[in-house]
Amino acid sequence: VTCIRDLKVRGAPLIGIAAALSLAQLAEQGATVPEIVEAASRLREARPTAVNLMAAVDRVVLKHRQDLTAQGIVARAEALFAEDVALCSGIAKHGSSLLADGDHVLTHCNTGGLATVGSGTALAVIAEAARAGKCIHVFVDETRPLLQGARLTAWELSKLEVPFTLICDNMAAFLMKQGKVQKVLVGCDRIACNGDFANKVGTYGLAVAAKYHRIPFYVAAPWTTVDLNCRSGEEIPIEERGPEEVRAGQSPRECAVYNPAFDVTPAELVTGFIFDRGVVAPRLIQEFLAGLG
Amino acid sequence: VTCIRDLKVRGAPLIGIAAALSLAQLAEQGATVPEIVEAASRLREARPTAVNLMAAVDRVVLKHRQDLTAQGIVARAEALFAEDVALCSGIAKHGSSLLADGDHVLTHCNTGGLATVGSGTALAVIAEAARAGKCIHVFVDETRPLLQGARLTAWELSKLEVPFTLICDNMAAFLMKQGKVQKVLVGCDRIACNGDFANKVGTYGLAVAAKYHRIPFYVAAPWTTVDLNCRSGEEIPIEERGPEEVRAGQSPRECAVYNPAFDVTPAELVTGFIFDRGVVAPRLIQEFLAGLG
C-alpha cells in the first residue's frame, strides 16, 4: 500500500498488477481469507483516480469471494500479468499505424514500460512506429510536479533510441503554434462511459491547445481502463496530493498550494482512443463499450 | 552585463533601468565617450527579447551622442528611474478598476516590485485592487523552468498580504475549466505595433486556454514596452536559454532540450492592454500607438 501511495510503483496499469501480485504473494504466504480481503480493500483505496487498481483487486480477489485459495488468487494474478503484455502489444500495433514517417509527437507523463508490465501504452505506440522504420521525434513534457517525463520518459526514449526533446509543460502550446507538433499522444488513468477521461494533470491543457491548433489528440489505453460504472468525467474522483510536491526551495514556507494529480478531459477534445482492440472515435465510444459488456 | 544575462537582475522594466544606472555610474567614474558607447552597445545585446533594455540604453546614451557628459547621462538615467515609478502607479490605477471584488486572478511569472523600480505591472494592479478593499485571490503559476512565480511572486504576495495559491503551470487550464479563474493578468516584455506581444514562456498557452474558457485576458505594461519598430510578433526575437535550466536531476545526461525563455501571443487573444495611460483594446492599439509617436 505504501509503495503505491508514495508512487514507488506508478503508472495506472502497473499499479493494478502490482496490487494483484502482492495479493498473490500474501495468499502464498498463508494469509487467511479475512486477511486477504482486508488487504485487498486497503489496496483498493490506496489511490483514487486510476481505475486499473480497483479493477485488478476486484478481478483477483473481491469478485471471487467463493474462491480465495492461494492457487486461485495466484492464477488470476498471473493471468492479469500476462494479459497486460498482450494489451500493450495490441495498443502498439493499432496505434503505430496512426503515426506518419517524420511526425513530431508530443507526449505527457510516462506511459512506457515503466508504467506497465508490457511495453507501455502511448510510448509503446511510438516505439512500435519507430521499430517499423518510421522517423519519429518526440517532444517530452517534463510533467510537473513530479517530473515523470523528465525522469522516466526521457530515460525510456534514450534506451529505445528514439530521438526526443525535453520541454517544460508550459512550452507545449508555443511548439504547436510554430507547427512543430503533428500529433499529441497520451495515456490515461480512467475513461468514463461518455469518453471523458482522467490523466496526469496537464493533459487537459494540452487537449485544449491541440484543439485550438487543429492537431490530432490521441489517448492510448487498454480496455481495462474503461470504467463502466462511471457515466461521465464528473464522476471521476481526482486525487489531490501534498503541497510539498509543488513548493520550490525559495517559496514562502506554508504557502497554499493546489496540487491535483490528475485532470479530466472531455470526449469532444479527443480525436481517437487507441485501445488494444483498435482505434475508436469518441462518438463511437458507447458502441465500443457495449461490445465490452 | 553578466548580471543581466544571468538573470541576477530580471524583469523587463528593471533590466532597462539597471542598464541605465550602470551607464550613469560608468560615466561618473570618468569613462571616456568611446568606452561608454561600447558599454552601452554591449548592454543592449545582453538579452534579446525585452525591448525595455534597448529602449533604456538608447534613451540614456545612444540617442544622445552629442551629449555624453557624465552630467547628461546621470540626469537621463535618473529621469528613467523616476519615470518607472510613475508608470507603475498609472498601470495600477487603470488596471485595478478591471478587477471585481471576489475575483480569482491567475498570473504568470513575476511582475511586481522585484521586476521594476516601482510597484510593478500586473502585480501592481492586483496590489492596488486589494488596497482599495477588494477581496482578490491570486493563482500563481510557478513558471518553469526558473520558478519566478514560486520564488518571487509568491514572496511578494506574502509581503503584500494578498491571499494566493501556488500551482504548477500545467494546472491552469483545469482551474479555468472548474470555473475557478475570473481573469488572467500578465506582464509583458515587448509589444509589437499590431498588438502581438512577447512574455515569459507559458503565456501563450494561458491565452489559448483563457480564450477557450471565455475568460478575460489582460496584459499590463508601461508604454515603453511598445516597440514601434516591430510590426508584428513574428519580428520579436525569442531568447533561447541553456538546457541545464530544464533538465532534472534524473534526466538523461546530454538529453536535448528546447528552452525558449519567452513566447509570442497574438493580439486576438488579448482582452485589453493595461497601460499607464489607460486600458486599450487590441483593435484600438494602432490608434493608441499613433498617439505615442
Taking only the tens of pLDDT, chain A with its 293 residues reads 888 888 888 999 999 999 999 999 999 999 999 999 999 999 999 999 999 999 999 999 999 999 999 999 999 999 999 999 999 999 999 999 999 999 999 999 999 999 999 999 999 999 999 999 999 999 999 999 999 999 999 999 999 999 999 999 999 999 999 999 999 999 999 999 999 999 999 999 999 999 999 999 999 999 989 999 999 999 999 999 999 999 987 888 889 999 999 999 999 999 999 999 999 999 898 888 888 75
d(CA B288, CA B223): 10
User: Predicted confidence band at B8 (pLDDT cuts at 50, 70, 90)?
Assistant: confident
Whole-prediction pTM = 0.96
Q: For residue A253, what are the contacts with CB-CB under 8 A and spacing of at least 6?
A: none
Q: For residue B210, what are the contacts with CB-CB under 8 A and spacing of at least 6?
A: B176, B181, B184, B216, B217, B269
pLDDT, one tens digit per residue, over B90-103 is 999 999 999 999 99
pLDDT of res. B250: 81
Residue B184 bridge partners (DSSP)? B106, B217
Q: Mutating which of B170, B238, B241 best tests the A interface, going by the most A Cβ atoms within 10 A?
A: B170
Average pLDDT, chain B: 95
Closest by alpha carbon to B25, among B65, B67, B59, B74? B74
Q: What is the DSSP string of B13-30?
A: HHHHHHHHHHHHHHHHTT
Phi/psi of residue A140, nearest 5 degrees: -105, 110
What's chain A's length in residues? 293
B205·A202 Cβ contact <8 A: no
d(CA B240, CA B108): 19
| Residues of chain A with C-beta less than 8 angstroms from the C-beta of B155 | 250-252
* pLDDT exceeds 70 at position B119: yes
| Residues of chain A with C-beta less than 8 angstroms from the C-beta of B258 | 139, 165-167, 171, 175
User: Is B88 in contact with B119 (CB distance < 8 Å)?
Assistant: yes
The vertex-B117 CA angle with B115 and B119, nearest 5°, equals 75
B258·A202 Cβ contact <8 A: no
d(CA B16, CA B190): 12
d(CA A108, CA A239): 18
d(CA B273, CA B222): 10
Q: Letter for the amino acid at A188?
A: C
d(CA B149, CA B165): 11
User: Is A44 in contact with A53 (CB distance < 8 Å)?
Assistant: yes
Helix (H) or strand (E) holding A279: strand A278-280
pLDDT of res. B178: 98
Chain B nearest CA to A258, separation (Å):
6
Out of B103, B141, B189, B276, the active site residue is B189
A257·B154 Cβ contact <8 A: no
Chain A nearest CA to B37, separation (Å):
37
Residue A139 bridge partners (DSSP)? A106, A165
Q: What percent of chain B clears pLDDT 90, i.e. is strictly above it?
A: 89
pLDDT of res. A62: 95
pLDDT of res. B2: 81
Q: Which residue of A has its CA nearest to B263?
A: A174
Q: Which three cell numbers stand for residue B55?
A: 529602449
A256·B174 Cβ contact <8 A: no
Q: Is the ipTM of this complex over 0.85?
A: yes
Chain A nearest CA to B102, separation (Å):
18
User: Is B218 in contact with B184 (CB distance < 8 Å)?
Assistant: yes
| Residues of chain B with C-beta less than 8 angstroms from the C-beta of A167 | 246, 257-259
d(CA B145, CA B244): 10
Average pLDDT rounded to a whole number, residues B94-116 = 96
Chain B nearest CA to A106, separation (Å):
13
- Which of A144, A247, A256 lies nearest to residue B170, judging by beta carbons? A144
Q: Mutating which of B7, B140, B142, B168 best tests the A interface, going by the most A Cβ atoms within 10 A?
A: B168
User: Is B217 in contact with B270 (CB distance < 8 Å)?
Assistant: yes
pLDDT of res. B293: 58
d(CA B150, CA B140): 7
pLDDT of res. B256: 97
Residue A153 to residues A166, A255, A267, B66, B70: CA-CA distances in angstroms? 9, 30, 25, 59, 57
d(CA A274, CA B239): 38
User: Predicted confidence band at B248 (pLDDT cuts at 50, 70, 90)?
Assistant: confident
Average pLDDT rounded to a whole number, residues B256-265 = 98
Closest by alpha carbon to B153, among B145, B163, B142, B137? B142
d(CA B269, CA B217): 7
Check if A101 is active-site.
Answer: no
pLDDT of res. A289: 82
